[in-house]
Amino acid sequence: MVRINKYYLYKWRSSESYEDVIKDNIEPPLWATHDLLSDARFNYIETCPTLYGNVTRLLTLARYISEENQLFDSWFNEVFLRAQELFPNRQWPINEKISKNNMDMMYDSNQDPFIPREFYFTTGFNYQSANLVEFQNKLLTEANPSINDFFSTPENMINAGFNGVPYKIIK
């Protein structure tokens, strides 16, 4: 199974308060998006169950600002149904309360399969027959931590315990 290691994502969270945003004249929807993305990334890296809430709020915001609600709904429903079939939720049953007794039921999202962006944005993309290693290689080749603050530098990845050569796929 092809995966992308979490060490590639920079572990950063927004620390600005809403009051700071208003003082700096940053548009509230832009700040909300930025804040939700930083929380989602942090919760993904930490395998926090609250990730689902972050993603739900991001989707709600995306739909709200979309000029084509029906198109957005159609796209989301199609992607969601395919994702649900291919990548079932392996978390604890929804009706169980999270406690220290059932923490072992949680999974490590590092074990999640690699899903290329084409899965979401290319109509008719067939995940099961796609060359995922090729898509992964393309992603890692195009990832540039010197111009994208959301990627860790190779040095930080190695210092954090990453095994391998950052931004290279070794066959």
Q: Would you report the helix, strand and coil content of the chain in percent, each value rounded to 5?
A: 55, 0, 45
Residue 38: the pLDDT is: 73
* pLDDT at site 136: 86
Give pLDDT, residue 19: 62
Is residue 120 in some structural domain? no
What's the pLDDT at 128? 94
- Residue 133 inside a domain? The answer is no
Provide the residue range defining the domain that includes 76.
6-114
Q: What is the pLDDT of residue 68?
A: 92
Q: What local confidence, expressed as pLDDT, does residue 79 receive?
A: 92
Q: How many separate domains does the chain show?
A: 1
- Does a structural domain hold residue 136? no
- Does residue 140 lie in a domain region? no
Is 95 part of a structural domain of the chain?
yes
> Has residue 151 been placed in a domain?
no
Q: Which residues pair with 9 in a beta bridge?
A: 151
Q: Please check whether residue 86 lies inside any domain of the structure.
A: yes
pLDDT at 89: 67
Nearest-angstrom CA–CA distance, 158 and 160: 5
Structure confidence at residue 167 (pLDDT): 80
160 lies in some domain: no
The reported pLDDT for the residue numbered 145 is 83
pLDDT (0 to 100) of residue 114: 85
- Residues whose CB falls within 8 Å of the CB of residue 136, separated by 6 or more in sequence, listed in order: 2, 4, 114, 116, 169
Which regions in the chain score pLDDT beneath 50?
1, 11
pTM: 0.64
Tell me how far apart the alpha carbons of residues 156 and 8 are, in angstroms, rounded to a whole number.
Answer: 9
